[in-house]
Amino acid sequence: MTDEEFLALPYRPNAGLMLLNSAGKVFVGKRIDTDGEAWQMPQGGIDKGEDAKAAALRELEEETGIPARLVDIISVTDDWIKYDFPRELAAKLWVRRSGEPRYRGQKQRWFLMRFTGQESDVNIATAHPEFSEWKWMDPADLPDFIVPFKREIYRQVLEEFSGWI
């Protein structure tokens, strides 16, 4: 696939979640499918016919075990925030039968949520776990712990939600 063909691919619709606890720390999980220190906030694809808010609340429960009733949505990004996958990753994720990638990256609608539950309400041992461990992290530290190709997205999310965190 040429660079021009790759850049012509669409972005996969996705919902991202910045979940804050009462101390203003952000939930992050260590990816189960990656070696090293690959931490991230919960996120996931928006299914066909699903709106971004419904997807965000579904992903919240699927990845953290936290039901929607234990969060308050504080804010949502004004627009989609896009990022490109590294070419080698795009060739492994969401691939057509031909072996060609279906997406060049993701466009994300981010939701800032306040967690109103207890630590015991978090359960990453879900039906299809994505995280091997989790913790609360200072928002300013997020970009330093995220895979490099997502760092700019996290900086944009932090900037957009800066009035609330």
Helix (H, G, I), strand (E, B) or coil at 16: strand
Determine the Cα–Cα distance for residues 9 and 93; give it in Å rounded to an integer: 13
Q: Is the pLDDT of residue 23 over 90?
A: yes
Helix (H, G, I), strand (E, B) or coil at 136: strand
Enumerate the domain spans of the chain: 3-160
pTM more than 0.75:
yes
CATH architecture of 3-160: Alpha-Beta Complex (3.90)
- The size of the chain, in residues, is 165
At 88, the pLDDT band (50, 70, 90 cuts) reads confident
**Beta bridge partners of residue 14, listed in sequence order:** 45, 108
Determine the Cα–Cα distance for residues 165 and 156; give it in Å rounded to an integer: 13
H/E stretch holding 43 reads strand 43-45
- pLDDT average, residue stretch 66-75: 98
Q: Which of 135, 140, 139 is nearest to 119 (CA)?
A: 135
Q: Is the pLDDT of residue 34 over 80?
A: no
At 101, the pLDDT band (50, 70, 90 cuts) reads confident
pLDDT in tens, 37-51: 789 999 999 999 999
